[in-house]
Amino acid sequence: MSDAGTTVIIGAGVAGVHAAESLRKEGDQDRIVLLDSDSRMPYDRPPLSKEWVTGETDEASILLRDPATYERLDIDLKLGVEVTDIDSVRKTIDTNDGHSYEWEKLLLATGSQLRTLSIAGDNLQGIFYLRRMADAIAINQHMQQVKEAVIIGAGFIGAELAASLNQLGINVTIVERSSYPMETIVGRQVSEYFLDLHRRNGVDVITEDSVTQFNGETNVEEAVTASGRRIPCQAVMIGVGVTPNTELSHPQLQADWGYAVSEYGETSAPDIYAAGDCTSWPYNGVPIHVEHWDHAVNHAKTVAKNMVHPQSAPYTYTPYFWSDQYNNRFQYFGHAKEWSKTVLRGSVESDAFTIFYLDDQDIVKAAFISNQPKNALPVRRMIQQQKAIDPEALADESTVLKKVQRVQV
């Protein structure tokens, strides 16, 4: 391997690891340096809120790759290292351990960072954010003696944690600021379904309220809300969202809710690319930002290909994410900030249904699938084709879904 055309990747999460691997698959024979501030071997994050919390998996089983893989691919993995400066003229980066790395091409795969709360008592023991393996380990150790837990935020991470802790026999209370959690993503009908799902499983979901204070001696004992509720607890998990991690800045790097990239993953700075959660990228001609595992993997692979073969593969992937809660599998395809109508196929009461989000031309922009995995492929195709659909046929379960897309209005 040659050092002359070194590629440096900042971030060894799912995007960074898949990018490094893809560079080799695309024929890159030069040096690849993969840096991450976490000192642990690169691992998968989704299990941290599910199988890890319930004890169904261990640290070794959620590694993204076996340690020997990095050696076999000759990827220079540097862990526990933070990048402090990017110089696009000299083409160097500096790290907090005093090293400087030269690069021909640079990939930013810095992911996202947690939003945090700053309220009275937030320094008590037993209050957690879940982002890294170290957080997950601390949560598991602490949960051994916990009978009551509070989760702040009813997004997908909070919902998955609630389901996992409920499975362990812990009494869980979710406190959510909005009236209908995730309504802007999945709409009122699915939001109401999620509220009912958790309540049916014994979770106390409080909406239109927020935690303003924690009480306790050394460990958290109580969460106090704005409306005056006092909720006993021995553990608190905070999941109030994330923001793109764009702390590594440079005058040439344009960032607007993520590093702005072209369809090839190019940033506004020459020879600097970005992939995954830290980006804002063009989807159907409009810049969007998503924070999903599937996007991080596929975006990283595509961007890596363009780093080896410039502007050869535009990224046209349909956004997708999934969530597992109470033995239910939920899937979401597409991207829709707004829609003109929704169409329900199946029965919400049965937990098996698909909801389609249509624009004013009856084109499906997105779909939410609950426990109907066979619908995934035709739904993805429908969104990719962007053709008008007959809403009545879409709702009619006697009509084969893959044939609905042929019905024009």
Tens digits of per-residue pLDDT, 143-167? 988 999 999 999 988 999 999 999 9
Task: Please report, as a single letter, which amino acid is at residue 284.
Answer: N
CA 385 to the chain's CA centroid: 25
Provide, rounded to the nearest whole percent, the portion of the chain with pLDDT above 70.
Answer: 98
The Cα–Cα gap between 274 and 258 comes to 9
Tens digits of per-residue pLDDT, 168-191? 999 999 999 999 999 999 999 999
Q: How confident is the model at residue 225 (pLDDT cuts 50, 70, 90)?
A: very high
Helix or strand or coil: residue 75? strand
Q: How confident is the model at residue 407 (pLDDT cuts 50, 70, 90)?
A: very low
Indicate whether 226 pLDDT > 80.
yes
pLDDT at 169: 93
Indicate whether 4 pLDDT > 80.
no
Token pair listed for 83: 């990048």
Q: Which of 50-64, 290-304, 358-372 has the lowest mean pLDDT?
A: 50-64
**Nearest residue to 108 (alpha-carbon basis) of 280, 316, 242:** 280
Decide if 4 contacts 103 (C-beta within 8 A): no
Token pair listed for 157: 């991470």
CA 281 to the chain's CA centroid: 15
Conformation bin of residue 267: beta by default, left when phi > 0, alpha when psi is -120 to 50: beta
CA 267 to the chain's CA centroid: 21
Give the neighbor-by-neighbor strand order of the sheet with 286-288: 259-260, 279-283, 286-288
Q: How confident is the model at residue 405 (pLDDT cuts 50, 70, 90)?
A: low
Q: How many helices, marked H, and strands, marked E, lie in the chain?
A: 9, 26
- Beta-strand pair 171-175/204-206: parallel
CA dihedral 322, 323, 327, 329 (to 10 degrees): -20
